Structure 1
Amino acid sequence: MPSLHAQGNYEIQVYGSDTEPAKSTMVELHSNYTIDGQKKLIDGVYPTNHQEHETLEITQGINSWSEVGFYVFTSLQDGRGWQWVGDHIRPRVKVPDSWHWPVGVSLSTEVGYQRASYSPDTWTWEIRPIIDKSVGRWYFAVNPALERTLHGPDVNLGIGFSPAVKVGYDFTKVVSGGVEYYADYGSITSIAPLHDQQQQIFLVTDLNVSPKWEINLGVGLGPTAATDRWMVKGILGRHFSWVKQSVTD
């Protein structure tokens, strides 16, 4: 039986539907550490146990309904030092606000390369529908992502199904808490047995300290045998606007 798509753990995030505004840039650092993970070398892929992943994400707004993101994946581990893992590019479009849909909707597609020592599937492609909605203090987001290996052993797996879900609640204007769920169920036409699925459940908090900043912290549990057992993650992001501010006397 073919293996599942490799568990990345480089950019652990449930996307909201909004895109980066035109003439502005979002710079994010994704920091993820595997407390208890895979401890053996499998098919030439390094074990994930005690790996620290640092991912730089730069997203440029194109207009009011589109953006392009670029990722640089790195890994730090005892005995191997700090290693470059790969790069991805991610264009995204959203349903314009002027359409007045009852939910936010956008669509991203992501393609990129990762070194074989970190993922046997060196070239991959993803298409990610994004649906979200705020109701009072509650926030809901669903990302039913589809994945395809372009080069590697999982080519024969076909289209994989990797959904992500977030439910959040604003306790105050600054502090939000919630649950994020990530999974890889295997082929969309032949869902893998539960034992072989990759699933992660994160308890998270978002700190809304300023519209310019994005801060997300979480601790995650992998309940299935195919998933790293314990992880912690953090996202630190900063918006930069390139619009000239008018000066009035």
Structure 2
Amino acid sequence: MRKFILFTFALIAITIQVKAQDNYEIQVYGSETVEQGHTMVELHSNYTLDGSKTVIDGELPTNHVFHETIEITHGWTPWFETGFYFFNSIGSDGRTAYVGSHIRPRVAAPESWKWPVGVSISTEFGFQKSAFSANTATLEIRPIIDKKMGKWYLSFNPTLDQSFAGPDANRGLIFSPNFKQSYDITKVVALGFEYYGSTGPFFNYDPIQQQQHQIFIATDLNFDPNWEFNAGFGLGLTNSTDRSIIKMIIGRRF
């Protein structure tokens, strides 16, 4: 079994090389997968308070736009899950549009390995309409490393993105690191910050103002093991990043 799991990790890392997250799923992943035989249904909602106001590379402006993503994830084994995404956008004129869909298999290091940190690898492939993402076919490799230390929680996602159609198709792997740190204020409430970045091609980074860097002040509510809740307010730190966004994630395990 252990050799099979290691082979699965290696196969995913070799065969899959995307900017999947953008402003549709603003989340730093934890390493745990959904329990075997269970299904998690999540709604990712965010609103861009101050974003782009002109068409860029054929993409519609993001200013005063809602993004609504439905995510359905099923756990097949104690260490393997598959997620499905349906991206939607509600424009400033109230018009709703279907944006695209992704599929995301993920494998995790089993607890029986007794590693000092949680580790998993998520891969996400899909398509989106060019009016909402100039890169219309993308793939993401997201290693996930996290650790719970008393009341502190840390998670690092050193993500690599690859576009197959669009302006970034020939740029190679794009480095998009994400990081989360939180502290349990009470048994229910955790407060912390989340960082989301996109620095350009690996080892050939873009000028700083062309990179994307966002910091979110965020809270997690742990009022029931079958429910998930995360909300936050984010600020963009460069010219290429939406200036301010509010987000909320609510999920339910079945």
TM-score by length of 1: 0.93
Aligned residue number for residue 76 of structure 2: 62
- CA separation in 2, counterparts of 1:216 and 1:70? 19
Aligned residue number for residue 151 of structure 2: 137
- CA separation in 2, counterparts of 1:171 and 1:143? 24
Aligned residue number for residue 114 of structure 2: 100
Q: Secondary structure at the match of 1:157?
A: coil
Q: Return the letter of the residue paired with 1:120.
A: A
Range with bigger deviation, 78-87 or 99-108 = 78-87
Aligned residue number for residue 238 of structure 1: 252
User: How many correspondences in the alignment?
Assistant: 237
Aligned residue number for residue 202 of structure 1: 216
Aligned residue number for residue 105 of structure 2: 91
Question: Which of these residues, 124, 144, 154, is aligned with residue 110 of structure 1?
Answer: 124
Q: CA deviation at 1:156?
A: 1.2
- CA separation in 2, counterparts of 1:78 and 1:126? 29
| Per-residue CA distance 1:50-108 (angstroms, 9 max, x = gap) | 01000000000010001000000000013360000000000000001000000000001
Q: CA deviation at 1:47?
A: 0.2
Aligned residue number for residue 123 of structure 1: 137
Aligned residue number for residue 244 of structure 1: none
Structure 1 residues 71, 6: CA separation in 2 closer, same or farther (over 3 Å shift)? closer
Please say if residues 19 and 138 of structure 2, whose CA atoms lie closer than 8 Å, have aligned partners that are also in contact.
no
Please say if residues 6 and 120 of structure 1, whose CA atoms lie closer than 8 Å, have aligned partners that are also in contact.
no
Q: Secondary structure at the match of 1:187?
A: coil
Q: Return the letter of the residue paired with 2:158.
A: P
Q: Secondary structure at the match of 1:69?
A: strand
Aligned residue number for residue 162 of structure 1: 176
Q: Secondary structure at the match of 2:170?
A: helix
After TM superposition, the structure 1 = structure 2 runs for residues 6-85 of structure 1, keeping only pairs within 5 Å, are: 8-79=22-93, 81-85=95-99
Q: Secondary structure at the match of 1:178?
A: strand
More strand by share: 1
Structure 1 runs (4+) deviating above 3 angstroms are 4-7
Aligned residue number for residue 3 of structure 2: none
Aligned residue number for residue 238 of structure 2: 224
- CA separation in 2, counterparts of 1:120 and 1:223? 22
Structure 1 residues 6, 213: CA separation in 2 closer, same or farther (over 3 Å shift)? closer
- CA separation in 1, counterparts of 2:222 and 2:200? 35
Q: Secondary structure at the match of 2:178?
A: strand
Question: Which of these residues, 188, 191, 197, is aligned with residue 205 of structure 2?
Answer: 191
Give the share of equivalent positions with the same residue, in percent: 56
Unmatched runs of 5 consecutive residues or more in structure 1: 241-249
Please say if residues 129 and 145 of structure 1, whose CA atoms lie closer than 8 Å, have aligned partners that are also in contact.
yes
Question: Which of these residues, 141, 156, 180, is aligned with residue 194 of structure 2?
Answer: 180
Structure 1 residues 7, 128: CA separation in 2 closer, same or farther (over 3 Å shift)? closer
Q: Return the letter of the residue paired with 2:42.
A: E
- CA separation in 2, counterparts of 1:231 and 1:56? 19
- CA separation in 1, counterparts of 2:30 and 2:80? 13
Structure 1 residues 195, 13: CA separation in 2 closer, same or farther (over 3 Å shift)? same
- CA separation in 1, counterparts of 2:155 and 2:135? 28
- CA separation in 2, counterparts of 1:118 and 1:34? 14
